[in-house]
Structure 1
Amino acid sequence: MNYFLVLITSLVLFSGNVLAADVVMSLVQQKSLGVIVAPIGKNTLLSSRRFPAEIVIPVGQERIVSAPQSGLLDQMHVAAGQTVKKGQVIAHLISPDLLGLQRDYLQALTQNKLAAKALARDTELLKEGVIAQRRYLETESTHDEASANLAQSRQVLRLAGVSDDAIAKLSPSTGMASGLSLVAPISGQVLEQMVTTGQRVDMAMPLYRIAKLAPLWLEIHAPLEGLPFVKEGMQVQVPKLQASGHLIAVIRSVNKADQTLHLRAEITKGAEKLSPGQFVEAEINLGDQSKYFSVPKSALARQGNRALVFVQTKAGFKPINVTVISEQVDEAVVDAPFAGNEKIAVTGVSAIKGTWLGLGGE
Structure 2
Amino acid sequence: MNFNNDSKEPSRPRVPKKQAVAIAVVLALGVMAGVGIMTFAGKSSGEASHAHEEAEGHGDGEHHDDAKTASAKGGHADAKAHADGEHHKEAGMEAGKEEHEGSISLTPEQQTSAGIVVEAAKPATLTATYQLPGEVTFNEDTTAHVVPRVPGVVESVPVALGQTVRKGQVLAVLNSPTVSDQRAELQAAQKRLQLARTTYEREKSLFEARISPQQDVQVAEQAMQEAEIAVTNARQKLQAVGATVSSGSLNRYELRAPFDGTIVEKHIALGEQVREDANVFTVADLRTVWAQISVPAKDLPLVRVGDSVTVRATAFEQSAVGKVAYVGSLIGESTRTAQARVTLQNPNAAWRPGLFVNVEMKRDSFEAPITVTTDAVQTVEDKPVVFVKTATGFIAQPVQVGRTDGQRVEIVQGIKAGVSYIAVGSFIAKAELGKSTASHAH
C-alpha contact 1:73 1:201 (8 A) present in aligned 2:
yes
Hey, what does 2:336 align to over in structure 1?
A: 259
Q: Which moved more, 1:89-98 or 1:263-272?
A: 263-272
- Deviation of the 1:184 alpha carbon: 0.9
Residue of structure 2 equivalent to 1:245: 322
Q: Percent identity?
A: 25
Shift of 1:42: 7.1
Q: 1:114 aligned to 2:195?
A: yes
TM-score by length of 2: 0.50
The one-letter code of the counterpart of 1:76 is: V
Match of 1:83 in 2: 164
Would you say 1:210 and 2:289 are equivalent positions? no
Give the letter aligned to residue 355 of structure 2: Q
Distance in 2 between residues matched to 1:108 and 1:147, nearest whole Å: 8
Distance (whole Å) between structure 2 residues aligned to residue 244 and residue 113 of structure 1: 62
Match of 2:364 in 1: 290
User: How far apart are 1:68 and its partner, in Å?
Assistant: 3.3
1:239/1:342 Cα in 2 relative to 1: closer, same or farther (>3 Å)? Answer: closer
CA–CA separation in structure 2 for the residues paired with 1:342 and 1:100: 80
Alignment of 1:252-331 (within 5 A): 252-268=329-345, 272-284=349-361, 286=362, 289-291=363-365
Q: Which runs of 5+ in 2 are unaligned?
A: 1-124, 368-409, 414-442
CA contact (8 A) 1:245 1:267 kept: yes
TM-score of the aligned structures, taking structure 1 as reference length: 0.61
Task: Find out whether 1:191 has 2:272 as its counterpart.
Answer: no
Are 1:137 and 2:218 an aligned pair? yes
2:263 counterpart SS class: strand
* Residues 283-302 of structure 1: per-residue CA shift (max 9 Å, x gap): 12x3xx52379xxxxxxxxx
Q: Shift of residue 127 of structure 1?
A: 2.7
Residues matched between the structures, number: 244
Q: Deviations over 1:332-362 (max 9, x none)?
A: xxxxxxxx9999xxxxxxxxxxxxxxxxxxx
Query: Which of the residues 258, 266, 274 maps onto 1:201?
Result: 274
Question: What's the counterpart of residue 236 of structure 2?
Answer: 155
Q: Name the structure where strand makes up a greater proportion of residues.
A: 1
Contact 1:242 1:270 in 2 (8 A): no
Higher-Rg structure is 2
Q: With a CA cutoff of 8 Å and minimum separation of 6, indicate the structure with the bigger relative contact order.
A: 1
* RMSD of aligned residue pairs (Cα, Å): 2.8
1:58 aligns with 2:132: no
Q: 1:270 to 1:155 in 2, by over 3 A?
A: closer
Letter of the 1:99 partner, please give it: S
Q: Tell which deviates more after alignment, 150-159 or 257-266.
A: 257-266
The answer for unaligned runs of 5 or more in structure 1 is 1-40, 294-339, 344-362
- 2:147–2:281 CA contact under 8 A, matched in 1: yes
The offset of 1:279, in angstroms, is 2.4
Once residues 210 and 156 of structure 1 are traced to their aligned partners in structure 2, the CA distance between those partners, rounded to angstroms, is: 24
State how 1:96-111 maps to structure 2 within 5 Å: 96-111=177-192
Q: Is the 8 A contact 2:142 2:285 kept in 1?
A: yes
| Correspondent of 2:304 among 224, 231, 246 | 231
**Greater share of helix residues, 1 or 2?**
2
- Aligned AA (2:150): Q
CA deviation map 1:105-135 (0-9, x unaligned): 1111100001111112222223333222222
Equivalent residue for 1:74?
155
After superposition, the C-alpha distances for 1:225-269 in whole angstroms (9 at most, x for unaligned) are: 333333222222222322331111122222333433432111125
Displacement, 1:193? 0.7
Output the CA distance in 2 between the equivalents of 1:159 and 1:193.
23
